[in-house]
Amino acid sequence: MLHFLSNQKIAIAFKNFSFIYGRDKNQELAVSNISFELKEGNVLILAGPSGSGKSTISFAINGIIPWRQKGFVKGDVEIFGKSIWDYDFSELSMLVGLVKQNPVDQLVTFKVKDEIAFGLENLNYPPEIIEEKVKNISNLMGINHLLNRDIDQLSGGQKQLVVLCSFLVMNPKILVLDEPIAFLDQNSESFLLNRLKKLIKSNKIPLTLVIIEHRLSRVMDVADNLIVLDENGKISMNNNIKQIITNEFEILRLSNVRVPWIVDIFHDFKKNNVKFQKFKNPTNFKELLEILDQLNKEDLNELYQILIDKEINPVELRKYEMYNELIEFNDTYIESLKHFKDKYERNEIKDENHEYNIILETKNLNFKYPNSGILAVKNLSLKINRGDFIGLIGSNGSGKTTLLYLLANLYEPTSGEILYKNKNLKEINQYEYAKEIGFIFQNPENMIFKSSIREELLYGPKNFGIINEIKESYIARLLNLIGKNNSEENPYNLSWGQKRRLNLSSIFVYNPEIILLDEPFIGQDQKTINSLIETLYIENKRGKTIIISSHDYHLLLKYTERIIELNKDGTLRDYDISSNYFQKHRNLGPIILLDEIKKNINKKLDAE
C-alpha cells in the first residue's frame, strides 16, 4: 500500500487489553492480553475463528467498549494517542466509523437517502451541504440509483453498501469494516474493494482501515498487516501480510482462517517437490501464472491434479460418494445413516425422466413487494428433483432471498404457482409443510426466538411434537457444534458465526426433507465450513434436497451439483442441470487456472 507521511502517527494502539462480557468476572475472556499498533493510513486485516474476539476488538476501537457494552476491562486502547476512557463516546464516534457484520443492526430510517444523511442531519449540517455530500458519496460507491428506494426493499448486499456510505459521508479518520464483502455479489465486491483502495490513496487525511474478514484471498492485496486471533482470543500471528504468506503460510493454514486458494495449492505443490522449495508463494494470480512458465510437463500435471483434488472435486468428500454402512463423525451432528440407498437407487432418484421425482416446481412465478411496483421474481419456471444439491446465484437484488422465502411458503406469490410433490402450496396444510422445510435465514437473529441456546435448539422439535424423540447424546453433539458456550446462555451473546451454527443445529435437529440456506458461509471459519459442507453433503446423499443461496461462487464450485442463476430483474438466466455451469461460465479463478495449466501442457507437448 502507499503511505502518505513519513512520520505517521499511531492511529490505534492496544496495550495488554482484555475483556469479559457481562457482570460475571468468572466468565471466559472474550479477548486476552491484546497488544498491537496500527499506523495512520495503514490497512489491517483482522482474522481468526468464529468467536475468537474480532468483533470485540472492533467495539473497543470505536468506544462501544467500554461506553455501551457492559463488562470487565483490563489494559487500555488508545486512538491517536488518547485513551478511549478519555474520549466522550460521541467524540470517538466522529473519529471512528464501525460498519457491523449485520447491516440491519445499524439501519435507523426508512429510505436510502435519509439513512446516508442521518448523521449529518444530527450534526446540523445545512440541507444543501447534506444533499451534496449524499450525492457525492452515493455516486462514489455506486448506489446513486438506490437513493429513493425503501430500505426494506434492498438486498443484504445493498443494505451493507448503504451503511458504509452513511459512515463515509462523515469523513471518519478510522473505518472498521466487519466482513464488508460478505453480502456482496462478485461485481459489487470488486467495486467496493477498488473504491476502498481509491479512498486510501486519495484522502488528504489518511484513512486508517481495519477489515475483519475470513476470506483472505479477497482482501490481502489491499492490506499492510495481518493479525490472526486464536480460539482463546489471543494474538497468534501479527506481521506484514506478505511476510506471513511467504514465510509463515503453514502456521496460517493451521489457524482456522480461509487461506488464499492460490497459495494453498502451490504450497502443497512445493511440499511434494523439493526442487521448488526456493520458490516464494505467489500472492496473486498473476504471480502464479508466471510460475507456470517455469514448470515442465510432469510438474504441470501434478499441479493440475492438486487443483482438481482441492478446488474442483474435493478429495475429502469422495469417501462419501458410495457407502452402505454407518459412518462415525467426530465433529458433525450425524447420528446415523440407516436405510441408505445404494448407488443405483440414488442414480434413479436424480433421473430427469421421472416426473414423480420432482419435489418442488415453480410455474410462471412472480412476486412483487407491496407498494413498490418492483418485481423481485419474474416469470420463473423451475423443476427441482428430490435429492438435488443446488447453488442459487445472482447479483445483489436479483431475487435469490425472495425465491427462498417463496419456496418456504413465507411469501405468497403475486401470480404463478409453487408445487410441492405436484400439489399447489395453497392446498397444503402449512403446519405439515413447515415440518418438511428447514430454512436458514440470511440474518441469523431472524430465527432466534428463545432466551437460552438449549431452548432455541429444541424450539422446532417442541413445536412439531417430536421433543421426546430427540436423544440427549444427539443434543450434546449439536451443542458442541455451536461452541463451548453454556447451553443456558442467551443466544444473542454469541458471535455471528456461532449464531449461524445455532440456526443450522436447530434445523438439523428435526430432520426436514428440504433444506434452504441463505448465505450460510458468512461469518464462518474454515473448520466450521468443512463441518457444515460434510454434513450437508451426507444429508444430500441420504436423499435430502438442498438449495444454497450464496455469493461465494468458489465454495459452490467445490460442493454443489447444479446452479440456478437469476438475472438482475429476477428472471432466470441459467439453470444448469448437467453439473456443468462453471465449465460454461469460465470466469472463476480455479477454472481459469485449470485452462492455463492445460495451455502450458499443450505448449510443452508441441515443443517435443
CATH no. for 318-577: 3.40.50.300
pLDDT value, residue 247: 87
User: 74 is written with which cell numbers?
Assistant: 483490563
pLDDT value, residue 355: 54
List Cβ neighbours of 237 (8 Å cut-off, separation of 6 or more).
Answer: 226, 227, 228, 244, 248, 251, 252, 255
Q: Which residue has the higher pLDDT, 12 or 92?
A: 12
- From CA 516, how far away is CA 520, in angstroms rounded? 10
Whether residue 288 has pLDDT greater than 50: yes
pLDDT in tens, 437-452: 999 887 788 889 998 9
Q: Specify burial of residue 2 (Cβ count, 10 A radius: 0-12, 13-18, 19+).
A: exposed
pLDDT value, residue 338: 37
Q: What is the mean pLDDT of residues 70-82?
A: 93
- From CA 375, how far away is CA 398, in angstroms rounded? 10
pLDDT value, residue 367: 95
Q: pLDDT grade, residue 204 (50/70/90)?
A: low
Residues 405/406/410/416 CA torsion (nearest 10 deg): 160
Q: Which of 213, 141, 204, 202 is nearest to 176 (CA)?
A: 213
**10-101+172-253 under CATH 3.20.20.70, yes or no:** no
Q: Which of 105, 191, 114, 151 is nearest to 397 (CA)?
A: 151
Strands (E), 140-229: 174-178, 208-212, 225-229
Residues 361, 384: contact at Cβ < 8 Å? yes
- From CA 389, how far away is CA 344, in angstroms rounded? 18
pLDDT value, residue 405: 94
Whether residue 350 has pLDDT greater than 60: no
The domain limits of the chain are: 10-101+172-253, 261-312+591-607, 318-577
pLDDT value, residue 331: 41
Q: pLDDT grade, residue 221 (50/70/90)?
A: confident
pLDDT in tens, 569-594: 999 999 987 777 887 777 788 888 99
Q: Do the domains spanning 10-101+172-253 and 318-577 agree at the CATH topology level?
A: yes
The structure's pTM equals 0.79
List Cβ neighbours of 500 (8 Å cut-off, separation of 6 or more).
Answer: 440, 444, 520, 522, 523, 524
For 409, the 3-state DSSP assignment is: coil
Q: What is the mean pLDDT of residues 316-329?
A: 54
Q: Which residue has the higher pLDDT, 495 or 436?
A: 436
**172: preceding bond cis by omega (within 30 degrees):** no
pLDDT value, residue 328: 37
Mean pLDDT in the chain?
84
- From CA 28, how far away is CA 232, in angstroms rounded? 9
Residues 155, 522: contact at Cβ < 8 Å? no
Q: What is the mean pLDDT of residues 178-183?
A: 81
For 375, the 3-state DSSP assignment is: strand
Whether residue 171 has pLDDT greater than 50: yes
List Cβ neighbours of 412 (8 Å cut-off, separation of 6 or more).
Answer: none
- What residues form DSSP beta bridges with 210? 44, 176
- From CA 550, how far away is CA 567, in angstroms rounded? 15
Instruction: Assign 3-state DSSP to the chain and report helix, strand, coil percentages, each to 5.
Output: 45, 20, 35
Q: What is the mean pLDDT of residues 236-241?
A: 94
Q: For the chain, what is the largest distance between any 2 Cα atoms, rounded to a whole number of angstroms?
A: 75
Query: What value does the CA radius of gyration of the chain take, rounded to a whole number of Å?
Result: 25
Q: What is the mean pLDDT of residues 277-287?
A: 84
User: 467 is written with which cell numbers?
Assistant: 421433543
pLDDT value, residue 4: 45
Residues 210, 46: contact at Cβ < 8 Å? yes
- What residues form DSSP beta bridges with 74? 18
Whether residue 219 has pLDDT greater than 70: yes
- From CA 585, how far away is CA 528, in angstroms rounded? 29
- From CA 77, how far away is CA 232, in angstroms rounded? 20
User: 225 is written with which cell numbers?
Assistant: 498487516
Q: Which residue has the higher pLDDT, 303 or 552?
A: 303
Whether residue 326 has pLDDT greater than 70: no
pLDDT value, residue 356: 56
**Residue with the three cell numbers 456443468:** 580
Distances (CA, A) of 160 to 58, 106, 155, 165: 17, 10, 9, 9
